[in-house]
Amino acid sequence: MSNTKAILLVGVGGQGTILASKILSEGLVSAGFDVKMSEIHGMSQRGGNVSTQIRYGEKVYSPIIGKGEADVIVAFEVMEALRWIEYLTEGGNFIINNYEIPSVPILMGAAKYPQGILDELSSKAKTRILNANAIAEKLGNKQTQNIVLLGAAIRALSDSGDTALNAIAWKEIITRNVKAAFTEVNIQAFEEGLRAN
């Protein structure tokens, strides 16, 4: 459906894509959208690539995103952004965490990590590059890089005209989804993500 938006979150097992997707989905539900979210489990837990797909709008049918249909791709890892390039829609946004995780063939010395990905993607689509890991580390909690990226994704959607997202009580939803001891640092991470440009 044309009034449906699609967000793809891609990364590597253990990067926290699922929590970010959960918070995003709950926020969208609270704003009255119909929301579907799909994730792939299983072998991805062993260092494989992971993807979460979120579609929202007045009425959503398909829980998954086809090629050329994602309005925003949030890549938690550089090469994963490249892997999913075909899924971005014309005029869509990339949000890329400037962080590289070599995969097994690279670790084994059987392949080289591809060079020049950020330049390549920036030349093809609107691309925001963040050092989410560095930001999170500066806040004192490396784990919060996923929430930094969540903030950046919401900013990108809002900038592209989805102003309904600004009214969502994101901080409340974050608070509901993280352990009390980590609420403050996650909210800071979220704000850093919103500010990053």
Partner 1 sequence: MGEKKLLTGDEAVARGAWEAGLLFASAYPGTPSTEILENLAEYKPDVYAEWAPNEKVALESAIGASMAGVRSLAAMKHVGVNVAADPLFTFSYTGVTGGMVLVSADDPGLHSSQNEQDNRNYANAAKLLMLEPSDSAECVKFTKLGFELSERFDTPVLLRMTTRVCHSKSLVELSERQEAPIIPYQPNIQKYVMTPANARVRRAKLSDRFQYELAFSEGEAVEMGLNRMELRATESAGEHIGVVCSGVAYQYAKEVFGENASYLKLGVTWPMPVNLVREFRSKVDKLYIVEEVDPYMENQIRAAGIDCIGKEVIPEWDELNTDIVRKAVFGQSSPTLTTELETVARPPALCAGCPHRGLFYALTKRKDIIITGDIGCYTLGSAPPLSAMHSTFCMGGSISTGHGAAKALEKAGSNLKIVAVIGDSTFFHTGVNSLMNVTYNGSNIITIILDNRITAMTGQQQNPGTGYTLQGEIAPEADIPKLCAAIGIKEENIFVVNPLRLDETNAALDKAFASDNASVIITKWPCILKKLQGEETSLYESLGNVCYIDQEKCKNCKICTKTGCVAIYNGDRVEINEAMCVGCTLCIQTCPFDAIIER
Residues that bind partner 1 (CB under 8 A): 1, 12-13, 25-26, 29, 34-49, 60-69, 79-80, 82-83, 85-90, 102-114, 116-117, 120-121, 124-125
Identify residue 140 by its one-letter amino acid code.
Answer: G
In whole angstroms, the minimum distance from the beta carbon of 110 to partner 1 comes to 8
Closer to partner 1 at the Cβ: 129 or 196? Answer: 129
From the number of C-beta atoms within 10 Å of its C-beta (0-12, 13-18, 19+), residue 52 rates as: buried
Closer to partner 1 at the Cβ: 122 or 191? Answer: 122
Residue pointed to by tokens 């403050």: 184
In whole angstroms, the minimum distance from the beta carbon of 150 to partner 1 comes to 16
In whole angstroms, the minimum distance from the beta carbon of 14 to partner 1 comes to 10
Closer to partner 1 at the Cβ: 117 or 156? Answer: 117
Joined tokens for residue 29: 């539900």
In whole angstroms, the minimum distance from the beta carbon of 195 to partner 1 comes to 27
Using DSSP's 3-state secondary structure scheme, residue 130 falls into: strand
Torsion on CA atoms 159, 97, 134, 172, rounded to nearest 10: 50
- Contact by Cβ (8 Å): 32, 159: no
